[in-house]
Amino acid sequence: MRYSLLCMLVLSCNTAFSTINITKHPSWSLLEQNNCGNSNSDRIIGGKNASLGAYPWIARIGYSKPNTNGLSYRCGGTIINRQYLVTAAHCVVNLPENFKVGGVRLGEHNILTNPDCEQGYCAEPVQDFLPESVIVHENYNKPEFKNDIAIIRLNKPVIYNEHVKPICMMNGELLNKNFVGETAEIAGWGIFDINDPKPSTILQTVKLPIVKMDGCIMAFRRYAEVSEDQQMCVGGVPGHDSCNGDSGGPLMQVNSLNGPPKYYFIGIVSFGTKSCEYRSPRDQCTVDSQVGTCINARDCTLVSNILQQSREQAIDYLRRNHCGFEGSNPLVCCVNSASISTRPSGVETNPGSTSDPSWNSESSPSPIENFQIDLANNPLLSNNCGRDLSQRIVGGERTDLDEFPWMALVEYQKPNGRTTACGGVLISKRYVLTAAHCVKGKDLPANWRLSSVRLGEYNTDTERDCVPDGENSEICADDPITVGVEEQIAHENYRPTSRDQRYDIALLRLSHDVPFTRYIQPICLPSNSSLGGKLFVAGWGKTETSSASNIKLKLALPLAEKSLCDQTYVSAGVRLGLGQICAGGQRGKDSCRGDSGGPLMALERIADGTGKWTAVGVVSFGPSPCGMQGWPGVYTKVSDFVPWILNNMSNKSKIKFTILTTNDKEVNIHKGVILLLRTTIYA
């Protein structure tokens, strides 16, 4: 049985308010606490329809987008007085492109009816409002996922009635209370039935235990730093959780504080376990007829327990129950474990329209730090990769005729012909590495079809590429070749509509092996997580003087400080992850549109005086216009995805390779089977 956990932003703090009487705050009177927290239902139920008027402070937050009628309701909120409601910060910032908070609805119960009626009694019609202003906590996401709270000021006062009224705010002894071991309630229109993963049309409620933070700290340790000072851990009950559409909604508890029992606002739904209690095909797996979850092998307590008793049994378990990769991390089907994904950067379900894109923000891959992959003599790859015969390192000028022979142009078939819109890089006789957005990006026209790859190209305007060699002679390259694409493999976690563009990596399997020549060679994949010193990009993208270059260009770029790059893009509503790196940031120097999917390369000098080029990044996205001062380009970090690349290549063959980590453990991969061992095992 899979157990769910939620991380709530807690509205009290045991230390900050220990000596403060919050009721003396000058704004306390604005909360109208004499008429708060009164439910029209005395029933406390779990996972069922709430009775009409049970939670009259619940708000629905609607979102608008261009060329779409009506609002898409995706978040919850809580009324605290006639002018304000509280929600999660992730419900109002870093929204998908063109989405904005468009309205707030109060007094809702059944989203299909207005007014709502129950057993012959009808409530007042719903009340709709516009957001006059939105106030986000100034330290939201500092550190990540913390201070997930915002206030929305409505454009007009709320009219209180039996089905629209505020919740009570904690004060006095409640501010210092430890709620662990007690139960609380959540409500919303999200998914509550794991067997029916559809949003509810009627307000749902469920009662959940508040548990020790240890559970959330363990469950979310790879994604967020969870702490008791701002957050509380709720759940652990099989089949019960708040889910999509409930983000920003309240965690509530009935308390008697200087009067009759009332509902008090004690937390805000922030993030929780992946897909709530609904198991996607990848999440759901079985071990000896027991239902398990596909998670990082290192997070599986069952594996740890088996390993303490018998290494041989642990090896056997890992061999039989490997279920995929996440970034560079092997996954294993683990019984009694929880898989998680973050929920904070968008809210995931639209009860009104299932056709809207998901707002899920997938977490970044968690790389094996300082890993080393033994790629020598790997039959999937060429040992003669990435060789550089030029001693010149330059930036912002034409390449030599035979420079960067691994560069590829990705071609698309249009109704009126063929065009190139992306770059790529040859990594073997059969595979080209590119960006996932070049395969399934939201900006690709619907009538375009990725059809082929052009290799050995230099000048796109000439049939045969030649350069002068002295006064009366020239050197000409072999003719470029066009190879059909047999299969497109975008990373399974890539989301085209995500502003963050994580997992922006893809493989193109060619229709046949390509012959290596002086002008067609593969680049090397990184064998460790080091990025080297100077970095380079090359391609046919936009320049300062024309819409695109007909000649292959190259440019030297500095590696940008990741923390500074993160801060720069946060200001634009983009949250970068671990599987992304930044380079550039100098005015007029950047990879640009047309170079998407192309490589960010590092040159390593070797003993014979030549160099070896490695693809350390894939061009993902950057500022518009290109080459803005202080705005580096963003690249997918290839080293984090080498296991994913090799695993997808090896699916077509029977290949073994090894990952070596600094803790002297080996991850041995054979036909997709992962073994975390201290000695090499040949499956």
Rounded to whole angstroms, the Cα distance separating 49 from 568 reads 45
What is the SS3 assignment for 298?
helix
Locate 360 and state its tokens. Answer: 């899920």
Rounded to whole angstroms, the Cα distance separating 587 from 193 reads 53
- Rounded to a whole number of angstroms, the distance between the first and last alpha carbons of the chain is 31
Cross-strand partners of 666: 660, 677
By C-alpha distance, which of 246, 328, 268 is closest to 503?
328
Catalytic residue among 90, 163, 322, 437: 437
Which region holds residue 18: left if phi is over 0, alpha if psi is between -120 and 50, else beta? alpha
What is the SS3 assignment for 225?
coil
How many Cβ atoms sit within 10 Å of the Cβ of residue 451? 14
Catalytic residue among 246, 504, 566, 590: 504
Catalytic residue among 200, 452, 549, 596: 596
State whether the Cα torsion 619-620-625-627 is positive or negative: negative
Locate 646 and state its tokens. Answer: 């090799």
Q: Is 596 a catalytic residue?
A: yes
Cross-strand partners of 668: 658, 675
Rounded to whole angstroms, the Cα distance separating 424 from 396 reads 19
Phi and psi torsions of 620, nearest 5°: -110, -70
> Is 367 in contact with 581 (CB distance < 8 Å)?
no
Q: Measure Cα distances from 263 to 148, 168, 179 in Å.
A: 22, 6, 14
Omega before 643 cis (within 30°)? no
417-426 and 431-434 strand pairing: antiparallel
479: amino acid identity, one letter: D
Q: Measure Cα distances from 601 to 380, 535, 634 in Å.
A: 20, 6, 14
Locate 122 and state its tokens. Answer: 């009808």
Exposure of 187 by Cβ count < 10 A (0-12 exposed, 13-18 middle, 19+ buried)? buried
Q: Measure Cα distances from 293 to 215, 416, 668 in Å.
A: 17, 48, 21
How many Cβ atoms sit within 10 Å of the Cβ of residue 574? 18
Q: What angle do CA 36, 352, 242 make, to 5 degrees?
A: 50
Cross-strand partners of 452: 411, 484
Q: Which residues contact 376 (CB under 8 A, 6 or more apart)?
A: 383
Q: Is 504 a catalytic residue?
A: yes
DSSP of 621-673, one letter per residue?
E--SSSS-TT--EEEEEGGGGHHHHHHHHHTTS--EEEEE-TTS-EEEEETTE
Rounded to whole angstroms, the Cα distance separating 404 from 523 reads 8
Locate 390 and state its tokens. Answer: 């030029």
Q: How far is CA 335 from the centre of its chain?
A: 25
Task: Point out the residues that are catalytic.
Answer: 437, 504, 596
